[in-house]
Amino acid sequence: MGRWSGKKVAVLYGGRSAEREVSLATGKACAEALSARGLDVTLVDAGLDLDLRLRAMGAEVAFVALHGRYGEDGCVQGLLESMGIPYTGSGVLSSAVGMDKVLSKLLFREAGLSLAAYRVFPPSRVASVTVADLPAGLPTVVKPACEGSSVGVHVVKDAGDLAAALADAARFKGAVIAEQYLRGAEVNVAVLEGEALGTVEMVPSREFYDYVAKYTPGSTQYFVPARLSPEVTARVCRDAETAYRALGCAGAARVDFIVAGDGTPYILEVNSLPGMTGTSLVPKIAAGRGIPFPELCERILDGASLKE
């Protein structure tokens, strides 16, 4: 029997971010998996009345299945800390830093990880940015600093498309990042409680592994494990564990890389609350290790705690 057997488990999903639809799918899948393991589960849409709803149901532990702002960025984690409700995933500070790509890149560099060249622009500056301001010319990747699921991300190949991409990224919270476009294998590593579970390689039918490729069945090929040499696999898993520790993560996380032709893994970001839908990567990697989805969800739940 799991640690939280017989306790009231609140699965927090939905929320108020641009990734609400993904979170709804994640929450439903996780709630069904936990229920199948015999746990007393209630789905709770994380709105402005979240504290009242948690108190009303007598929640004893929270499985956080949120993505994006207000759920993955430390806000909900702070609420749960103040309410004394143990929760899954990373704590307040780790979540906030992991959500902010500018801050996390600084920690990755300090930890000795390889990064693509990048520049950061405040939203007030993007209207005047030209190709000459980019870190490595065109093509370049433009993204908002504080969103996930590839929301607001653009691969810009032509100078005429740069202004529109920057303006779109600036619609979201935080700064805008222009990053060197790297050619290589798109590889993710799942990390659970500090240990790399394995790798997956994505080969999307689209330009890159964007929102549509992530959540539309059939639009991407997946290879578990990634098609890497044993030496490169060991390095990318080691780098994923290093990134996890650098941010102070807890629970399950997913670390995203581009692996260049020479075998160098360039880290993109750490997702402190990875997707857990039917097309999500952490469940695929766990399955490759012989961990069924319901067991994975319960293992994540077993790690729930107060962090601060």
Task: Give dist(CA 119, CA 178) in Å, integer.
Answer: 5
Is-catalytic flag, 109? no
- 19, 147, 210, 298: the catalytic one is 19
Determine the Cα–Cα distance for residues 104 and 268; give it in Å rounded to an integer. Answer: 10
* Residue in 94, 149, 272, 280 annotated catalytic: 149
Q: What is the DSSP string of 111-170?
A: TT-B---EEEE-GGGGGG--GGGSSS-SSEEEEETT--TTTT-EEE-SGGGHHHHHHHHT
- Catalytic option among 211, 256, 266, 280: 256
Residues 6+ apart with CB under 8 A from 3: 301, 302, 304
Q: What are phi and psi of 199, to 5 degrees?
A: -125, 160
Instruction: Give the C-alpha separation, 25 to 282, whole Å.
Output: 14
Catalytic hit among 271, 272, 280, 298: 271
Catalytic residue among 89, 275, 280, 298: 275
Alpha carbon distance 198, 191 (integer Å): 8
Selecting among 148, 254, 272, 298, the annotated active-site residue is: 254
Helices 230-247 & 101-110 angle (0-180, nearest 10): 120
Confirm whether 275 is a catalytic residue: yes
Is 215 designated active site?
yes
Decide if 271 is catalytic.
yes
Identify the three-state secondary structure at position 6: coil
Q: Write the CA distances from 176 to 67, 68, 102, 130, 165, integer angstroms.
A: 19, 16, 9, 14, 10
Among candidate residues 70, 118, 211, 215, the one labeled active-site is 215
C-alpha 41/C-alpha 271 separation (Å) is 24
Question: Is residue 198 within 8 Å of residue 190, measured between CB atoms?
Answer: yes
149 is known as an active-site residue: yes
Active site residues: 19, 149, 215, 254, 256, 269, 271, 275
